[in-house]
Amino acid sequence: MHPLHGKVALITGASSGIGRATALRLASFGVRVVLASRTAQALEEVVQQIKTFGVEALAVPTDVTDREQCRQAVETTVAHFGRLDILLCSAGVSLRGMFADTVPAVLEHIMRVNFFGTLYPTYFAVPHVKRSRGSLVAISSLTGKRGTPSYAIYGASKFAVRGLYDSLRLELASDGVHVGVVSPGFVDTPLRERVLDATGQPWLSPPAPPFRIWPLEKCVDRVVRVVVKRKSQALLPGFVGPLLALDEITGGRLGDWYLGSKFDPAAVTKMTAQQASGCQPPKTSSGG
């Protein structure tokens, strides 16, 4: 029997991408799953898939930027199943654009979804996860580990998530609560086709990433391992860890040079102008 069998997990962003795939993986282990996202119909489709594993699942339509809806999602989980063992905060939105060109309302939207959309469910889940000595896990990003051109606000939201969870790991250690952060690079999810530009509109043609796009299941492997092994963090790809350490040793000069060439600010500015004119940005290696 899998070590997570019989546990109860609440997953935000569960209608697609990493959240959906993780929900299905956990259900295959016998985990009872509560699915939260804004799209009720998509959630019900996932519920039906989970039922094929003979596991109970519950859909709770939730806007993670709404504090009260997050509270209700947590309370509904506990009322229905009597406990909460795992919270996975996977809801998020991506933005690729130069900070100075980005509309202030869009800056705020990214923070509301990515940071407050993690903070709110976590806040309400903490008392219940304390009782179960369970896990709080957040999906961050490699841009939350190292500043990257054209990802200033997206990266800032992910840095904030990591800062929150790093502190919670220390605050909740004496309560037996596991706190972990998964920081992937580019992952093959629907989010890649909905990357926002500086005006908050999806790119007409999402900029091509300069690095490998990792299979979704690889990211799910990392999430599951973090929960089962109660690890504090996981990176995808794993070899980025030593590179980040080397970057630190060089005072950031190595990363500045490498990321500046891979995410050329001038190329992003040019693509943004083409996007604004309604032209299809070219597929170049400078995207992400």
Does the active-site annotation cover 154? yes
The domains of the chain are located at 8-276
CATH class for domain 8-276? Answer: alpha beta
- DSSP class of 232: S
Strand partners, 61: 37
CA distance 107 to 234: 27
Q: Nearest 5 degrees, angle CA 71-CA 65-CA 155? A: 125
pLDDT tens, 84-96? Answer: 999 999 999 999 9
- Give the residue-averaged pLDDT of 279-286: 41
Whether 272 shows a pLDDT value over 90: the answer reads no
Report phi then psi at 176, rounded to 5.
Answer: 75, 20
Q: What is the DSSP string of 58-99?
A: EEEE--TT-HHHHHHHHHHHHHHHS---EEEE-----B-S-G
pLDDT at site 281:
45
Q: At what angle do helices 17-28 and 216-228 cross, to 10 degrees?
A: 60
- Give the residue-averaged pLDDT of 126-142: 98
Window from 37-51, 100-114, 252-266 with minimum mean pLDDT? 252-266
- Kindly name the residue from 151, 154, 165, 258 that is annotated as catalytic: 154
CB 9 within 8 A of CB 20: no
